[in-house]
Structure 1
Amino acid sequence: MASISVSRIVPAPPERVWQLIGGFDSLPDWLPDIPSSTLENGGRHRRLSTSDGDTVVERLLAFNDAERQYSYAIVEAPFPVTDYVSTLRVHAVSGDATVSEVQWSGRFVPTDAPEADVVALFNGIYSDGLKALSAAVA
């Protein structure tokens, strides 16, 4: 099993960042590569359309509003992985209430591709996503 974790300091308080990213259906609000998201199965699944025309279906596994985090699994996607589970978290930064640290992490089993390539793929997705988030809250 491989894993990846990317974090970034963003220029907004944790409450404001969580308000933007904390909804399971909110990816289109801050992630440019996801132009649409539709909740299904009573909000437990989201069907994402990518800017490349692909579809990704994810299942919400855990949600904790007080701790500003949620975890999800990929149900269907064009990625060369199985057993993918990811967590998105917003942390307060000690001593500075005007910024937040956002952490996006995942673990998965690579299939049909070298582990290093799949880790690099998700590193790029997470890094680009957090960069877009930082710009969205600035």
Structure 2
Amino acid sequence: MATASAFIDIPVSADQVWQLVGGFNSLPDWLPFIVSSEASEGGRLRHLKTADAAIVERLQTFDNAGKTYSYSIVESPFPVADYLATLKVEAQGEGTRVTWSGSFTPVGVSDEEAHALFKGVYEGGLAALKANFPG
């Protein structure tokens, strides 16, 4: 099993960040490469579209008070299986730390290649998130 993670510090309250990212179906609101997200199964499944791919993810855990959720991939073009990721928003001093991490089994690629892929997704996504909070 391989893993990847990234974090970013944002100079606003955890409540403000969670308001934007806390909805499982809210990725298009802050992640530019997600063109659309459609919920099904009472909001537990999200059908994501990028410019050139479709991804289906299932909500596994959700803790609104703890400002965290975990999800798995049901369908995607990514070369992994057994994917489980967590997005966590934590108050940190005057601001917020957001951590996005995942574990997965590479399929047809090395652990290092899979790690690099998701580390890039997480870092790029968190940078896009921070851009929503100028200053």
Counterpart amino acid of residue 105 in structure 1: S
Q: Can you list the C-alpha shifts for 1:19-61, whole angstroms capped at 9, x where unaligned? A: 000000000000001010000111110000012x200000000
Identify the residue that residue 29 of structure 1 maps to in structure 2. 29
Q: Distance in 1 between matches of 2:16 and 2:82?
A: 31
Residue 12 (structure 1) shift? 1.5
| Total equivalences in the alignment | 134
Q: What secondary structure, in the 3-state scheme, does the structure 2 residue paired with 1:42 have?
A: helix
Structure 1 gaps, min length 5? none
Structure 2 gaps, min length 5? none
TM-score, normalization by structure 2: 0.97
Counterpart amino acid of residue 44 in structure 1: R
Residue 130 (structure 1) shift? 0.3
Residue 18 (structure 1) shift? 0.1
Q: Distance in 1 between matches of 2:115 and 2:3?
A: 7
Identify the residue that residue 74 of structure 1 maps to in structure 2. 73
Identify the residue that residue 56 of structure 1 maps to in structure 2. 55
Does residue 113 (structure 1) correspond to residue 112 (structure 2)? The answer is no
Map residues 62-101 of structure 1 onto 2, 5 A cutoff. 62-94=61-93, 96=94, 99-101=95-97
Q: Can you list the C-alpha shifts for 1:44-101, whole angstroms capped at 9, x where unaligned? A: 10000012x200000000000000000000000000000000000001003x2xx210
Spell out structure 1 runs of 4+ moving beyond 6 A: none
Residue 137 (structure 1) shift? 2.0
Identify the residue that residue 127 of structure 1 maps to in structure 2. 123
Q: What secondary structure, in the 3-state scheme, does the structure 1 residue paired with 2:132 have?
A: helix
TM-score, normalization by structure 1: 0.95
